[in-house]
């Protein structure tokens, strides 16, 4: 699916993928397998990252859940 840019997830400076998962509804944190990030915090588009990756403003986060 395309990124939802109409309703972005609001995070604080220094928040990680894990922090984003905690803000999302349901049991996404427990179902987390991997993530891809594109944007200022990534070294290249669709960089594979773990829960500890610090996100930046304007990042796009793609989650892979089990």
Q: What is the pLDDT of residues 2-42, one digit of tens each?
A: 777 788 889 999 999 999 999 998 999 999 999 999 999 99
Across-strand partners of 47? 37
d(CA 53, CA 2): 22
Residue 3: per-residue pLDDT? 78
Record the tokens describing residue 59, joined without a space: 């990042």
């Amino acid at each position: 699916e395309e990124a939802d840019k109409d309703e972005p997830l609001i995070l604080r400076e220094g928040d990680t993928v894990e922090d984003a998962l905690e803000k999302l509804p349901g049991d996404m944190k427990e179902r987390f397998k991997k993530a891809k990030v594109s944007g200022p915090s990534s070294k290249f588009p669709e960089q594979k990252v773990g829960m500890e990756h610090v996100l930046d403003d304007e990042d796009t986060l793609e989650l892979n859940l089990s």
